[in-house]
Amino acid sequence: MLIAGGAAAIAAAAVGLAVLVTLSLIGWITAPHDGFGGGLGGVLRDAGLLWLVAHHVEVTVRGVGQIGLLPLGLVLLPGALLERAGRWLTREGHVTRLRHVSYAALAIACPYALFTAAVALGVGTETARPSLVQAVAWGFLLALVASGLGAAHGLAPWRKLAGLLSPRPRSVALGAVAALGVVTALGALLNAVSLGLHLSAYQSAVDSLGPGPFGSALLLLAELAYLPNSVIWAIAYTLGPGFAFGAGTAVSPSGSALGALPAFPMLAALPTGSGPAFPAWLGFFVLATPYLAGALAGIVAIRVAPTPFSEAAPLWGLLTGSLAGAVLGLLAWVSGGPLGSGRLASVGPNGAEAGLVAVLEVGVTAALVAGAANWLLLRHHIKRLDWPPAPARDQFGKAQPKPGAPVPAPVVDEADDAGGHRIYVDPWGDSPEAG
């Protein structure tokens, strides 16, 4: 497994590097000026830097500062390749049981982290130097998670893997996934609506760059790479705290205060007015998004739970919503970062603030809805079990007549010992002492 894991890790890294080298070559050939610098060697170094950026590794540029606002969409490229590497280990017979998944993930993650460290050391120059610590840490973590998921998926479909969890953890996980799905869908919708409202500003930004046909294609790829960042920023906007784009700036539902922005067309979707960006009635629905997600999380957690349990239902709902809020805080943290050491040193949402607000909004709502849904479920089951009501019975198991009903004539069943006589059995009667 160690040899196969190392081969899979090198193959996944090599394919990812080859894709980015190809894109860098296209940009270098079609660029109207020497945008890459250093000729073909500079292109290869820039491709290596771009590959490290796809692993969320920050780069320090001389004279500019630290570049940490990295496109999360690029993470899909190494993530998909590592997932395929994990499935390949399963298909080759190295993973036959679920407990072997962790061994396969480590067999891929360790050499992959060493490879990212080697690339970070190889492409670093006096002008741009990637973080070696982040290259090792993020490379190991991404390979561990993606290859582990791939190896597990190679054993069984996701539905069967989810069925291996015990009922309570499964209900919490599915409830959190449902809440994250709601806020992601509405965040993407909000992003699309804002871009549609500022479509003329977007087109003006593209025309000012004059990228040409090939440059337009590369610019579109860059915008798609930053699309997950923009969706997460839209989610932070619906939570209330919003996000910043530079020191002393803020973009929130109550209004926006922005300075000069970089010439990137996607930034045209940012609201620029000092007042609310939406009418009051639409702003209400925008701010209600986290509460809708919390309500869905509470309902799913109760419906998937094995049995209704009135005392603990709000606690399970709170745990479900808090898990979703913690994931949103983590996503908000990785979606932002500095753009140099100047005014744009703080870009994106505050991860701790967004996570805390998400826990309060989604978690508390999920707790309340879970408690109410559990009470309704218990009430429904109790009514169903008590209808029709069972007749009262006496000590001998005979049905008692309802109050006010005519008393039937006494009937003695001769075959029933209770109506005649009783036989008492001595359990020690067959002993030699008893004769």
Gap between the Cα atoms of 66 and 112, Å rounded: 25
What is the domain count for the chain? 2
Q: Are residues 80 and 221 in the same domain?
A: no
Reduce the DSSP state of residue 156 to 3 states and report it.
coil
Is there a single domain that holds both residue 24 and residue 75? Answer: yes
Q: Report pTM.
A: 0.82
The predicted pLDDT at position 420 comes to 52
Given 129, 164, 199, which residue is the final one in a domain? Answer: 164
Ordered per-residue pLDDT tens for the chain, 435 residues: 889 999 999 999 999 999 999 988 887 787 655 544 567 778 888 899 999 999 999 999 988 889 999 999 999 999 999 999 999 999 888 888 888 899 999 999 999 999 999 999 999 888 899 999 999 999 999 999 999 999 999 888 888 887 777 888 888 999 999 999 999 999 999 999 888 888 888 888 888 887 777 888 888 899 999 999 999 999 999 998 889 988 888 888 888 888 788 888 888 888 877 767 677 767 788 889 999 999 999 999 888 876 666 667 888 899 999 999 999 999 999 999 998 888 888 899 999 999 999 999 999 999 999 988 888 877 766 665 555 555 556 555 555 555 555 545 444 444 555 555 556 666 655 655 555
Do 59 and 205 sit in the same domain of this protein?
A: no
Specify if 399 maps to a domain: no
Pair (151, 275) in one structural domain: no
Residue 421 lies in a domain: no
- Please indicate, yes or no, if residue 427 is contained in any of the structural domains: no
| Domain range enclosing 186 | 166-394
Cβ atoms of residues 5 and 89 within 8 Å: yes
Same domain? For 142 and 186 the reply is no
Give the per-residue pLDDT at 129.
92
Instruction: Specify whether the CB–CB gap between 353 and 75 falls below 8 A.
Output: no
Question: Same structural domain for residues 218 and 142?
Answer: no
Tokens describing residue 300: 């799913």
156 in any annotated domain: yes
- Looking at the fold, whether 123 and 191 belong to one and the same domain comes out as no
99, burial (CB in 10 Å: exposed 0-12, middle 13-18, buried 19+): exposed
Q: Is 57 in the same domain as 154?
A: yes
209 and 81, same domain (yes or no): no
Q: Residue ranges of the alpha helices (H) in 265-363?
A: 280-287, 289-304, 313-335, 351-358
How far apart CA 374 and CA 320 sit, in angstroms, is 14
**Does some domain include residue 349?**
yes
In a domain, 433, yes or no: no
For residue 301, tell me if it sits in a domain: yes
pLDDT at 35: 47
Nearest to 54 by CA among 150, 151, 120, 111: 120
Contacts of 22 (CB under 8 A, 6+ apart): none
- Classify residue 430: in a domain, yes or no: no
Same domain, 289 and 314: yes
Q: Are residues 253 and 283 in the same domain?
A: yes
Same domain, 337 and 371: yes
